[in-house]
Amino acid sequence: MWVDTHAHLHLSAFDPDRDAVVARAREAGVTAWIDPALDVASARRALALAEAYGAGYFVAVGVHPNSVAQAWRGAATLDALRDLAQHPAVVAIGEIGLDYYRDYTPPRQQRAALEAQLALAAEVGRPVILHQRQSVDDLLALLADWVADLRAQGHPLAARPGVLHSFSGDVDQALRAVELGFFVGITGPVTFKNGEVMRAVARAVPLERLLVETDAPFMAPHPHRGRRNEPAWVVWVGRKVAEVRNLAVDEVRRQTTANAQQLFYLPKL
């Protein structure tokens, strides 16, 4: 059994054949996945799908940094996310973070929304799913302060604060995240010919702190690169992690599934 800890199945890219995508995932042994929202409206769509598909369909609720300029309404947005986080399918606050690659939201606004959502995560006791694109150092600095506050309060979330999803930094940055208690999410680029930095990260991070993801419909792994990604293909990510670590695929499967269960308090799968 595999867990794809990041797959945006609520997006319109899956509207034509979502049932078939879910069926292929389950046939491939992917028994659970997490569908992270991009804003309040997409969180509601994801939760409707979780209710329709049932067991194994989990959701994260939050406002993506690239959505902040259009979707962030301060206290009103936080109130909506707080209410949505009470749904039993919600296992995290996300996808939240910082993105300095796209010019959709000024960094100052991104940071304000991120800090508010980190506070919400602490309030509701949910780990965070963190986007970081060309922003890893700034994000780690902000997270260090947040985790220090959690530890000072004796907050249980300090032991499992979240995951740096589709990690895009280097080995040093990944190990700094691990020191703060975070998991590191590995996606399709680990399989790419030019993905040696990601393979180095997959080798260096303790296996007990790795998660495997697709980020579907984006970044399909080799040999499917260039196509719409889907949860069934998380198996290719896991196989590459096993290869670069010289481990059996089953060992990577078992450990990354256990990691997902530990971080997100998923039921036994």
CB contact at 8 A, 121 and 158? no
pLDDT digits (tens, 9 = 90+) for 169-211: 999 999 999 999 999 999 999 999 999 999 999 999 999 999 9
pLDDT digits (tens, 9 = 90+) for 2-14: 999 999 999 999 9
Dihedral Cα 225, 172, 256, 236, nearest 10 deg: 20
pLDDT of residue 103: 87
Dihedral Cα 118, 121, 122, 128, nearest 10 deg: -80
Distance CA 214, CA 240 (A): 13
- Report whether pLDDT(268) > 80: no
pLDDT of residue 267: 81
* 266 band by pLDDT with thresholds 50, 70 and 90: very high
Q: What mean pLDDT is reported for the chain?
A: 97
Distance CA 135, CA 166 (A): 13
Distance CA 259, CA 38 (A): 24
Here the tokens at position 212 are 């495997």
């034509």: which residue's tokens?
Answer: 16
pLDDT of residue 84: 98
**Which are the contacts of 178, defined by CB distance < 8 A and separation ≥ 6?**
184, 205, 206, 209
pLDDT digits (tens, 9 = 90+) for 69-110: 999 999 999 999 999 999 999 999 999 999 999 989 999 999
Phi first, then psi, for residue 183 (nearest 5°) are: -90, 160
Distance CA 110, CA 95 (A): 12
Distance CA 43, CA 49 (A): 10
The enclosing H or E element of 90 equals strand 90-99
CB contact at 8 A, 173 and 184? no
* 235 band by pLDDT with thresholds 50, 70 and 90: very high
Neighbours of 205 (CB within 10 A): 22
- Report whether pLDDT(54) > 90: yes
For every residue of 8-30, DSSP letters joined together read -TTSGGGTTTHHHHHHHHHHTTE
Please state the rounded mean pLDDT for residues 225-229: 97
**Which are the contacts of 206, defined by CB distance < 8 A and separation ≥ 6?**
178
pLDDT digits (tens, 9 = 90+) for 120-163: 999 999 999 999 999 999 999 999 999 999 999 999 999 999 99
**Which are the contacts of 246, defined by CB distance < 8 A and separation ≥ 6?**
none
Distance CA 155, CA 153 (A): 5
pTM: 0.97
- Report whether pLDDT(269) > 90: no
Distance CA 57, CA 89 (A): 7
Amino acid letter, 15: D
* 213 band by pLDDT with thresholds 50, 70 and 90: very high
Dihedral Cα 24, 263, 162, 154, nearest 10 deg: 170
